């Protein structure tokens, strides 16, 4: 009897040991599976995040490609307007004669990007004439890129805004061609419009601009440098209601606080008077 009792005790002990071992092994297996499972879940989340990023990138690429296609269409469009001797524009053929061109000098100083955004919202084209000393830093170069990517024409307003008649021919070349090179490095294309500081051209600067494929352009009127019009309401009123506003008018404005505030009203006011805002892409250049 003792013999059988001893055997039962040994058997129960062995069964308990096996059960404990199996339990520990199952627990260990569960822990390993849990560890393996966590990274897999993270990978799935990462893949999802990457997918969303890729989707956003594709949308940005599509938008950029569409903008580039539209820009290419406009570049290849037949010119519809030509510059006259008094710096206004007249239609070629049967184009609408009642147009006005918006131009912004001394960009991109402080307000140019905001001005471009205002014009973009109103679907109002314009030329931004750039000074070289405003595109020296990475931040300033980014401003120029933003304006260009919004679809606005970029013009050359010399490197330092110096009076060209006071410079040698070599210095004039650096002011003009040097800035064209700099702008091309930033936005990938050279300007096709040139405006001399103070409207002071020389025979050499005019020939140089033509050699560079740029149209020399002054203006028909502007007011925002005069003390009486350094207020947005006064400026908006005179820019729209001046007797100098005529078909083909070439409006000169600057990157200034009061001009920035008046710009939307100026665009609206011109249209209310029946003027179409002239797209620079339709202007005949050399």
* Structure confidence by residue, pLDDT tens digits, 142-178: 999 999 999 999 999 999 999 999 999 999 999 999 9
Whether 46 maps to a domain, the answer reads yes
Pairwise CA distance, residues 211 & 172, whole Å: 14
- The reply to whether 61 and 172 lie within a common domain is no
Of 149, 154, 142, which Cα lies nearest the Cα of 63?
Answer: 149
Count of domains observed in the chain = 2
Assess whether 176 and 253 both reside in one domain: yes
Rg, Å, the chain Cα set = 34
**Does residue 104 surpass a pLDDT of 80?**
yes
Q: Which residues face 83 on adjacent strands? A: 89
The residue whose two tokens read 């297996």 is 29
Distance CA 173, CA 272 (A): 42
Are 32 and 151 members of one domain? no
Q: What is the average pLDDT value for the chain, to the nearest integer?
A: 84
- Asked whether residue 286 is assigned to any structural domain, the reply reads no
Q: Is the pLDDT of residue 3 over 80?
A: no
Whether 137 and 169 map to the same domain: the answer is: yes
Q: Looking at residue 175, which CATH number applies to its domain?
A: 3.20.20.370
> Model confidence over 22-42: pLDDT tens digits?
444 444 455 544 444 444 334
- State percent of the chain over pLDDT 70: 73
Picking from 11, 41, 76, the residue at the C-terminal end of a domain is 76
Tell me the residue length of the chain: 286
Please identify, among 61, 76, 91, the residue that sits at the C-terminal boundary of a domain: 76
Same domain, residue pair 11 and 143: no
Together in a domain, 58 and 170: no
Smallest CA-to-CA distance from 112 within 157, 69, 160, 68 is with 157
Considering 76, 92, 108, which residue would you say is the last residue of a domain?
A: 76
Asked whether the predicted pLDDT for residue 214 surpasses 90, the reply is yes
Query: Are 56 and 120 in a shared domain?
Result: no
Residue 223 has pLDDT above 50, yes or no: yes
**Together in a domain, 121 and 11:** no
Q: What is the pLDDT, as a whole number, of residue 19? A: 47
Annotate 80-144 with DSSP letters as a single string.
-EEE-TTS-EEESTTS-S-EEEEEEEEETSSSHHHHHHHHHHTT---EEEEPGGGS-SHHHHHHH
Q: Which domain holds residue 253?
A: 80-281
pTM: 0.76
Tell me: do 171 and 66 sit in the same domain: no
């Amino acid at each position: 009897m003792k013999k059988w009792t001893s055997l039962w005790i040994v058997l129960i002990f062995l069964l308990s040991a096996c059960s404990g071992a199996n339990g520990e092994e199952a627990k260990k297996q569960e822990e390993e599976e849990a560890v393996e499972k966590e990274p897999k879940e993270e990978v799935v989340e990462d893949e999802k995040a990457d997918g969303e990023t890729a989707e956003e990138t594709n949308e940005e690429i599509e938008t950029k490609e569409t903008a580039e296609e539209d820009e290419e269409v406009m570049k290849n469009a037949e010119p519809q307007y030509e510059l006259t001797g008094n710096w206004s524009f007249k239609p070629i053929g049967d184009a609408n004669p009642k147009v006005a061109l918006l131009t912004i000098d001394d960009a991109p100083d402080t307000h140019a990007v905001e001005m471009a955004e205002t014009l973009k919202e109103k679907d109002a084209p314009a030329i931004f004439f750039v000074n070289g000393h405003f595109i020296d830093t990475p931040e300033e170069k980014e401003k120029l890129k933003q304006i260009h990517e919004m679809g606005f024409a970029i013009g050359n307003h010399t490197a330092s805004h110096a009076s060209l008649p006071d410079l040698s021919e070599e210095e004039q070349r650096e002011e003009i061609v040097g800035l064209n090179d700099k702008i091309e490095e930033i936005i990938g294309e050279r300007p096709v419009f040139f405006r001399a500081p103070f409207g002071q051209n020389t025979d050499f600067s005019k020939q140089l601009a033509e050699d560079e494929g740029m149209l020399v352009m002054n203006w028909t009127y502007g007011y925002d440098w005069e003390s009486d019009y350094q207020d947005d309401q006064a400026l908006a009123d005179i820019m729209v209601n001046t007797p100098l506003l005529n078909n083909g008018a070439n409006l000169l404005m600057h990157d200034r606080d009061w001009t920035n505030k008046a710009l939307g009203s100026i665009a609206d006011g011109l249209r209310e008077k029946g003027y179409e805002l002239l797209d620079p892409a339709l202007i005949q250049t050399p």
